[in-house]
């Protein structure tokens, strides 16, 4: 059985517990958009009985173009995330890009996310680990799933064993990603909860020249496949109007489609987790 990681009293990653939804817009575009999106997702997850962690980025430091929007920055971004956290009483997560950001971000967030391109940055990982927050590391597009064992060791040797690993696709030629579903049981085999990032897995990096393209129509298929294999959390970027989003629009799913999208995943997850429990009896 996969190690359990508890967040608050009602959210547990791992074991045979229902999957946790980590979701929100890619970027903090405005306080209003973030709050309104969080309110709707919370209502949907309460209806479907899905544990929920809100996600949004204060800085999109890895953009195709220097002219691309990046977000409000660390201090304004954390101020907005803290308002969401307190007003709605939900956990929040965001990503960091520099080692010096870890301690600042840990004052607000419940989970620190490490971007895929930075998953081997030792100082970044060590500083994040020392905050004693849950650390969610996205597997680099350039790494095999078994390479993530070294990443786990870096976190543990820095004094933290609250680790999540996220699958978000692997580079396949130029401007394309594919998902090797074998990655999920492989990384889960390291006795850590595993997250499937369904929206970044359908990216076409740099596909629009100065920005990233994507195929959001494939998100439901990959999500259901991942749930059938067994996941501990599902990561989604969600936006009220993805076609007008300032970042990652082509791969984000529409907020008003989220509930119907989640319903079959809940059922698949339930069947898989019930089977896991029966096999242990």
Kindly state the average pLDDT of the residues 146-151. 97
Cα–Cα distances in Å, from 151 out to 54, 185, 248? 24, 17, 26
Sign of the alpha-carbon dihedral angle for 81, 84, 87, 88: negative
Task: Choose among 140, 167, 177: nearest CA to 227.
Answer: 167
Structure tokens at 111: 């989970």
SS (H, E, C) the chain: CCCCEEECCCEEECCCCCCEEEEECCECCCHHHHHHHHHHHHHHHHHHCCCEEEECECCCCCCCCCCCCCCCCHHHHHHHHHHHHHHHCCCEEEECCCCCHHHHHHCCCCEEEECHHHCCCHHHHHHHHHCCCEEEEECCCCCCHHHHHHHHHHHHHCCCCCEEEEECCEECCCCCEECCCCHHHHHHCCCCCEEEECCHHHEECCCCCCCCEECHHHHHHHHHHHHHHCCCEEEEEEECCHHHCCCCHHHCEEHHHHHHHHHHHHHHHHHHHHHHHHHHC
Kindly state the average pLDDT of the residues 254-280. 93
- Report the mean per-residue pLDDT for the chain: 94
Task: Report whether pLDDT(238) > 80.
Answer: yes
Structure tokens at 250: 């082509």
Report pLDDT digits (tens) over 243-257.
Answer: 999 988 899 999 999
Task: Report whether pLDDT(134) > 90.
Answer: yes
Which residue segment(s) compose the domain that 190 sits in? 5-280
Task: Report whether pLDDT(277) > 80.
Answer: no
Q: pTM of the prediction?
A: 0.96
Task: Report whether pLDDT(64) > 90.
Answer: no
Task: Report whether pLDDT(103) > 80.
Answer: yes
Q: What is the pLDDT of residue 191?
A: 97
Please report, for the domain that includes residue 131, its CATH number: 3.20.20.70
Q: What is the pLDDT of residue 69?
A: 85
pLDDT classification of 2: cutoffs 50, 70, 90: confident
Compute the CA torsion angle 144, 18, 50, 117 (nearest 10 deg). Answer: -10
- The neighbouring-strand residues paired with 58 are none
Q: What is the pLDDT of residue 281?
A: 64
% of residues, the chain, pLDDT over 90: 85
Among the residue ranges 57-71, 87-101, 159-173, the one predicted with the least confidence is: 57-71
How many structural domains does the chain have? 1
Question: Can you give the C-alpha Rg of the chain in angstroms?
Answer: 17
Q: What is the pLDDT of residue 212?
A: 75
Report pLDDT digits (tens) over 104-121.
Answer: 999 999 999 999 999 999
Task: Choose among 241, 249, 235: nearest CA to 50.
Answer: 235
Q: What is the pLDDT of residue 67?
A: 82
- The neighbouring-strand residues paired with 93 are 55, 111
Q: What is the pLDDT of residue 206?
A: 77
Residue 234 φ/ψ, nearest 5 degrees: -120, 125
The DSSP bridge pattern shows strands 233-239 and 194-197 to be parallel
Judge whether 181 and 226 are in contact, CB under 8 Å. yes
% of residues, the chain, pLDDT over 70: 99
Task: Report whether pLDDT(6) > 90.
Answer: yes
């Amino acid at each position: 059985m996969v190690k359990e990681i508890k967040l608050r009293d009602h959210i547990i990653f791992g074991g045979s517990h229902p999957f946790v939804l980590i979701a929100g817009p890619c970027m903090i575009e405005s306080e209003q958009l973030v709050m309104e999106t969080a309110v709707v997702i919370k209502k949907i997850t309460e209806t479907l009985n899905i544990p929920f962690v809100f996600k949004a980025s204060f800085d999109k430091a890895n953009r195709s173009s220097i002219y691309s929007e990046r977000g409000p920055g660390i201090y304004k971004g954390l101020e907005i995330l803290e308002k969401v956290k307190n007003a709605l009483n939900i956990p929040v997560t965001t990503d960091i890009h520099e080692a010096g950001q870890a301690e600042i971000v840990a004052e607000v967030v419940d989970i620190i996310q490490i971007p895929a391109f930075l998953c081997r940055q030792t100082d970044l990982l060590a500083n994040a680990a020392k905050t004693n927050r849950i650390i969610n590391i996205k597997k680099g597009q350039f790494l095999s799933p078994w390479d993530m064992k070294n990443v786990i060791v870096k976190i543990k040797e820095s004094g933290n064993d609250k680790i999540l690993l996220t699958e978000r696709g692997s580079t396949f030629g130029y401007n394309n990603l594919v998902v090797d579903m074998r990655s999920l049981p492989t990384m889960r085999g390291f006795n850590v909860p595993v997250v499937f990032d369904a929206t970044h897995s359908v990216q076409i990096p740099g596909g629009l020249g100065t920005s990233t393209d994507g195929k959001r129509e494939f998100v439901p298929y990959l999500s259901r496949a991942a749930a059938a294999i067994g996941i501990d959390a599902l990561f989604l970027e969600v936006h009220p109007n993805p076609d007008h989003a300032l970042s990652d629009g082509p791969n984000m799913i529409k907020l008003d489609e989220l509930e119907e999208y989640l319903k079959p995943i809940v059922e698949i997850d339930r069947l898989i987790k019930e089977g896991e429990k029966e096999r242990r009896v």
